[in-house]
């Protein structure tokens, strides 16, 4: 049987794609092959880099944009090299191209994959017509540490939420299954950073990571697998050393898992110079050894590192590298280009004037909807929405618009903005000033930027507040405070915003706090002083209109926290799916007929300062209020007939308030004993449902053995092995509005 199978496999006809790649590869010289493994940023030293393109020594360029410029460089590759292999043009298109959507952490807060997919699709449409065919996104690094600046670029702390949103972004960018039919709006995704980058010690970017194999597989790898299952055409290495081995030179990640276990044929590209970084990492004595270690770990394209073009040919001639190793890397490069249709049509249409697809009505509407759904209502004493009826009682009230983020066109776009133009941003001040509203507005920013500490600026806001009935305080972070190499050692509002909030609250006027930031912040004091709190992250081009609609009740908040909000930075890392430990810091109250009995017990060594309890977060994962209220029925868990180990988990949610609204129903799971200690709860499903006021909706999930499974580990002397399985053990499953219920 085995022999028959081998014979059959050898006769499996090759696809057109494979035949094309075989044929092209057979014509290539060693130098031309190595050229395809080289990715350069020709936006500086352009003369030298253009010469390399003409010599066929560049496979991809990035940080170049605009149909004319891209076509100019492309003509060098296609018309001036021996084989005319086209370049693939890449760019950091992270949360929008010209039209900017909320930062990915904000998109995670929408819990709406359809919306995220639409945003990615419209983004691809804008970018492709500007010459970009490969986006260095989605970033799916599951993050537990808000000090790390790059939490802004991921979808939060949960593997499932991150997996769903990463896959949605891949689908949006790549539009349809990669059927080789050139679709002008198709752009290759690049899922990053592979892997474990977000676990950097101390939340310091690029820092060391130590991750046990089972935790790597339970928490950090699933979003990469989900993105690849969604068709992601490429993967990017991470900068960090994972358990002593930097990802670019890590055969366990790049060959054992990515190629052998997952059978992926996606292109693996380094991060910026992450191959040459092996020398400062202390792994390699010099860049030639770095090239050897990277090719032996099958890092297939060298981004801006020049180690492959400088050393690979010599390593082959010295017999240290087989040309077959080069061939398998070049196949991946040619496959990406083939699937993008670049060989048929390497050029981009050059529209007369601006790209008509940028800032389209459809894009701007999608950006506004994403900003609406990314905002989280954290507190509301009833002041919101500032609706007609609420304001009517105030007889023509005056609303003060203040704060360092109220009118910041650039800052509200957030991190990783290359092409989004601040002049297209609509700020909260713009929206409140220009739109019809049942109140007068006053505008006095007070602090003029997020790190401003000038008490005179606060005094100006307090003076204006005395003339107002209601204060809208737009606080938060400048965009530069999050993103790559933008970590913080405290999570408070920057500058003197805490002092400004206290001064505004002291006026006795109600303060609505709106936070526009790149991470969860420790805003406990400000929450106590505010009448209401909307957490909007950096909401992008249309953040202003979205916040206007939310505050005036034209839209109802539906966002939920994608990360735990700690009370203080001393609690970090703090995440919901933690282990109970042998001396739990918090035992959920026992529920008898859904009624909590007995106060939760705290027994921790923390010497809490102003914190009532240092063991509880400020806001748990999955938390978010609405202008309406929702009531959840008891959850039912029913085994599915003739499907061993499969269960239907259901609950009915009733909108008991007066606003039609969306609610994110979350399915949580917990086993209370088993082969290994397991989390006190894990998200295993979610559905965002629209429920009209007064109506009910039943939500159901299927809980599978796969959902209940996790990675086990056994050791035998020096040997160890891991395997995935579900324990046969009792478990609980429940549907709730957040992880703390």
Cα end-to-end distance, the chain, whole Å: 55
Q: What is the spatial distance between Cα 471 and Cα 477, in angstroms, rounded to a whole number?
A: 19
| Count, residues near ligand GLC per rule CB under 6 A | 6
Per-residue tokens: 703: 């809980």
Q: What is the largest CA-CA distance in the chain?
A: 88
x/- binding map, residues 460-489, to ligand GLC, per CB under 6 A?
A: ------------------------x-----
Pick the closest to residue 49 from 73, 84, 29, 85 (CA basis): 73
DSSP state of 565: B
Nearer to ligand GLC by Cβ, of 88 and 547: the residue is 88
Residue 90 or 375 with smaller CB distance to ligand GLC: 90
Nearer to ligand GLC (CB atom), residue 92 or residue 300? 92
Q: How far is the CB of 271 from ligand GLC (least distance, A)?
A: 5
Q: Measured between alpha carbons, how far is 374 from 712 in angstroms, rounded to an integer?
A: 36
Minimum separation from the CB atom of position 417 to ligand GLC (A): 13
CB of 330 to ligand GLC, least distance (A): 21
Strands 470-476 and 511-516: parallel
Per the DSSP assignment, residues forming a β-bridge with 476 are 516
Residue with tokens 């035949």: 19
Give the residue with the Cβ less far from ligand GLC, 136 or 565: 136
Q: Measured from the CB of residue 538, what is the shortest distance to ligand GLC in angstroms? A: 17
Helix (H) or strand (E) run with residue 287 in it: helix 287-296
Residue closest to 557 by CA, chosen among 542, 565, 546: 546
CA 30, 32, 38, 42 dihedral sign is: positive
Question: Which tokens sit at 32?
Answer: 């031309």
Say if CB 371 and CB 540 are below 8 A apart. Answer: yes
In terms of CB distance, is 303 or 665 closer to ligand GLC? 303
Q: How many CB atoms lie within 10 A of CB 349?
A: 12
Residue 151 CB, shortest distance to ligand GLC, in Å, is 14
- Rank residues 404 and 420 by Cβ distance to ligand GLC and give the closer one: 420
H-helix or E-strand containing 90? strand 88-91
Q: How far is the CB of 65 from ligand GLC (least distance, A)?
A: 13
Among 33, 118, 171, 192, binds ligand GLC (CB under 6 A): 192
- Encoded tokens for 717: 């002397």
CA dihedral (631, 633, 639, 645) positive or negative: positive
Alpha helices of 653-726 — where are they, by DSSP H?
Answer: 705-708
**Minimum CB distance to ligand GLC smaller for 135 or for 313:** 135
- In the DSSP assignment, the letter for residue 740 is T
How near is the Cβ of 40 to ligand GLC at its closest, in Å? 12
d(CA 646, CA 638): 9
Q: Where are the alpha helices (DSSP H) in 381-423?
A: 388-392
Helix (H, G, I), strand (E, B) or coil at 245: strand
Q: Site mask, ligand GLC, residues 579-618, x = CB under 6 A?
A: ----------------------------------------
* 87 or 618: CB nearest ligand GLC: 87
- Strand 398-402 and strand 470-476: the pairing is parallel
Nearest-CB residue for ligand GLC: 136
Tell me which residues in 125-184 interact with ligand GLC (CB under 6 A).
136
Task: Considering the complex, state which of residue 137 and residue 635 has its C-beta at the smaller distance from ligand GLC.
Answer: 137
257-316: contacts with ligand GLC (CB under 6 A): 271-272
Catalytically annotated residue among 141, 145, 271, 407: 271
Pattern 358-397, ligand GLC, x by CB under 6 A: ----------------------------------------
Give the integer Cα–Cα distance in Å for 110 and 119: 12
Give residues with Cβ within 8 angstroms of 7, minimum separation 6: none
Q: How far is the CB of 73 from ligand GLC (least distance, A)?
A: 18
Q: Which is nearer to ligand GLC, 271 or 526 (CB)?
A: 271
**Contact call for residue 204 and ligand GLC (CB under 6 A):** no
State the minimum distance, in angstroms, from the CB of residue 104 to ligand GLC.
Answer: 12
CB of 123 to ligand GLC, least distance (A): 15
Tell the smallest beta-carbon distance from residue 484 to ligand GLC (Å): 5
Both tokens of 73, joined, read 């460089």
Measured in degrees and rounded to the nearest 5, phi and psi for residue 715 equal -120, 145
Query: DSSP state, 642?
Result: T
Strand partners, 647: 639, 703
Q: Name residue 454's beta-bridge partners.
A: none
Which residues between 494 and 533 bind ligand GLC (CB under 6 A)?
none
In the bound state with ligand GLC, the residue whose beta carbon lies nearer, of 61 and 321, is 61
Q: Which is nearer to ligand GLC, 265 or 484 (CB)?
A: 484
Q: Are 248 and 294 in contact (CB under 8 A)?
A: yes
Rounded to a whole number of angstroms, the minimum distance from the CB of residue 192 to ligand GLC is 6
Point out which residues pair with 650 in neighbouring strands: 636, 700
Q: Out of 32, 92, 157, 682, which residue is the one contacting ligand GLC (CB under 6 A)?
A: 92
How remote is the C-alpha of 718 from its chain's centroid? 38
CB atoms within 10 A of CB 353: 5
Is 271 marked active-site? Answer: yes
Q: Which residue has the tokens 């709190």?
A: 533
Listed in order, strand segments (DSSP E) in 260-326 are: 267-269, 302-303
Residues 465, 463: Cα–Cα separation, whole Å: 5
Footprint of ligand GLC (CB under 6 A):
92, 136, 192, 271-272, 484
Active site residues: 271
């Amino acid at each position: 049987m085995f022999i028959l199978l081998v014979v059959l496999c050898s006769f499996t006809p090759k696809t057109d794609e494979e035949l094309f790649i075989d044929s092209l590869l057979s014509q290539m010289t060693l130098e031309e092959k190595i050229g395809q493994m080289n990715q350069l940023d020709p936006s500086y030293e352009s003369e030298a880099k253009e010469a390399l393109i003409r010599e066929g020594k560049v496979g991809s360029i990035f940080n170049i944009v605009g149909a004319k410029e891209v076509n100019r460089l492309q003509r060098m590759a296609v018309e001036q090299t021996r084989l005319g292999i086209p370049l693939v043009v890449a760019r950091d298109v992270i949360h929008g191209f010209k039209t900017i959507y909320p930062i990915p952490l904000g998109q995670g807060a929408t819990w709406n994959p359809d919306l995220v997919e639409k945003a990615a699709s419209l983004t691809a449409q804008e970018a492709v017509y500007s010459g970009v065919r490969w986006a260095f996104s989605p970033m799916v690094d599951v993050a537990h540490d808000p000090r790390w600046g790059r939490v802004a670029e991921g979808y939060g702390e949960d593997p499932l939420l991150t997996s769903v949103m990463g896959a949605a972004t891949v689908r949006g960018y790549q539009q349809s299954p990669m059927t080789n039919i050139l679709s002008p709006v198709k752009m290759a995704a690049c899922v990053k950073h592979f892997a474990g980058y977000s676990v950097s010690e101390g939340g310091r970017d690029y820092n060391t990571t130590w991750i046990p194999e089972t935790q790597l597989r339970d928490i950090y790898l699933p979003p990469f697998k989900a993105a690849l299952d969604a068709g992601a055409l490429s993967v990017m290495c991470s900068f960090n050393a994972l358990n002593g081995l930097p990802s670019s030179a890590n055969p366990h990640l790049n060959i054992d898992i990515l190629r052998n276990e997952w059978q992926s044929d996606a292109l693996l590209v380094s991060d910026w110079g992450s191959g040459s970084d092996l020398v400062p990492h202390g792994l390699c004595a010099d860049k030639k050894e770095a090239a050897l270690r990277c090719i032996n770990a099958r890092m297939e394209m060298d981004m801006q590192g020049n180690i492959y073009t400088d050393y690979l040919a010599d390593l082959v001639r010295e017999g240290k590298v087989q040309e077959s190793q080069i061939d398998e890397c070049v196949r991946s490069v040619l496959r990406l280009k083939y699937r993008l249709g670049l060989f048929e049509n390497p050029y981009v249409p050059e529209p007369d004037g601006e790209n008509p697809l940028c800032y389209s009505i459809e894009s701007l509407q999608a950006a506004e909807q994403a900003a609406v759904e990314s905002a989280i209502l954290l507190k509301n004493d009833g002041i919101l929405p500032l609706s007609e009826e609420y304001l009517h009682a105030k007889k023509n009230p005056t609303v003060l618009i203040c704060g360092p983020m109220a009118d910041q066109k650039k800052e509200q776009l957030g991190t990783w903005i290359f092409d989004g133009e601040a002049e297209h941003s609509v700020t909260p001040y713009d929206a409140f000033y220009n739109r019809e509203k049942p109140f007068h507005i006053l505008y006095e920013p007070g602090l003029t930027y997020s790190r401003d500490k000038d008490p005179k600026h606060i005094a100006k806001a307090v003076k204006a507040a005395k003339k107002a009935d209601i204060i809208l305080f737009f606080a938060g972070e400048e965009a530069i405070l999050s993103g790559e190499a933008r970590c913080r050692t405290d999570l408070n509002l920057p500058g003197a915003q805490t002092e400004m909030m206290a001064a505004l609250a002291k006026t006795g006027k109600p303060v609505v706090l709106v936070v526009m930031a790149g991470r969860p912040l420790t805003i406990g004091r400000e929450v106590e002083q505010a009448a209401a709190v909307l957490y909007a992250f950096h909401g992008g081009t249309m953040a202003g209109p979205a916040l206007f609609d939310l505050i005036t009740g034209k839209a109802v908040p539906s966002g939920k926290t994608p990360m735990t909000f700690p009370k203080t930075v001393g609690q970090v890392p703090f995440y919901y799916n933690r282990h109970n430990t042998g001396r739990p810091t918090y035992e959920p109250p026992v529920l008898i007929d859904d009624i909590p009995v007995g106060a939760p017990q705290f027994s921790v060594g923390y010497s809490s300062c102003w914190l009532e309890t240092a063991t509880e977060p400020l806001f748990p994962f999955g938390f978010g209020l609405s202008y309406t209220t929702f009531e959840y029925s008891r959850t039912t868990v029913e085994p599915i007939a003739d499907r061993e180990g499969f269960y239907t988990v259901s609950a009915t949610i009733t909108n008991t308030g007066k606003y039609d609204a969306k609610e994110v129903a979350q399915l949580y799971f917990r086993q209370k004993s088993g082969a290994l200690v397991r989390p006190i709860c894990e998200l295993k499903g979610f559905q965002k449902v629209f429920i009209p006021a007064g109506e009910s909706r039943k939500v159901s999930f299927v809980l599978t053995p796969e959902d209940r499974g996790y990675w086990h580990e056994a050791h035998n002397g020096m040997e160890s092995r891991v395997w995935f399985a579900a324990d046969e053990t009792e478990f609980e499953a429940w549907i709730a509005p957040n992880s703390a219920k």
